[in-house]
Amino acid sequence: MKLRLALALILLAAITRLLLNFLPYPPHNFSPIAAMGLFGAAVFNRRWMALAVPFAALFLSDLILNNVIYSQYYTSFTFITSWWIYAAFGLVMFIGSAVLRKKASPARVVGASLIASLVFFLVTNYSVWASGLMYTKDAAGLMTCYTAGLPFLGNTILGDLFFSTALFGVYYWVTNRKLSTQTA
């Protein structure tokens, strides 16, 4: 039951990631990406599932985003937007495993979500600086890049907190409710 619930919640988060793009003005960076990584790393007992399920959800939703929803921006079938996003996602999953695997209390989920937001911000903005031509390749250019990314950090934090709370909250509410009805 717990396995099916966890799989369903990650699938629902990936679908939500897609559906957010149909809003008239989709909020930039308000996304369940980090929540999927934190949640998957924390709740799946088997390590291979803790890695494979969230990565598969991210990859498949990227495929749909790049090749269906935003297909007008790509001239050919696109697999991965940026390996940096997957690297940041891997770090977020490491945080989920290290901080939430043993005990996922509300305070730990909030803390891990905030750390995940910061990690994602630092890695993805570093990638813009390192692989682009918009900023000078020095410390000033990197700081300018991070400063330019600050307006997006707020929605990243809000999205990570919202979706992490939703995933962990629903999971623990359903599993504890099921356990309490079985013992009553």
Give 124-136 pLDDT, tens digit per residue: 999 999 988 899 9
Give 27-56 pLDDT, tens digit per residue: 888 999 999 999 999 999 999 999 999 999
The C-alpha atoms of residue 98 and residue 72 are separated, in whole angstroms, by 40
Any long-range contacts for 7-12 (C-beta under 8 Å, 24+ apart)?
Answer: 7/53, 9/39, 9/167, 9/170, 9/171, 10/36, 10/39, 10/40, 10/53, 10/54, 10/57, 10/167, 11/57
Mean pLDDT over all residues of the chain? 90
Give 55-85 pLDDT, tens digit per residue: 999 999 988 888 887 777 666 665 556 789 9
3-state secondary structure of 139: helix
**Surface-to-core class of residue 167, CB atoms within 10 Å of its CB (0-12 exposed, 13-18 middle, 19+ buried):** buried
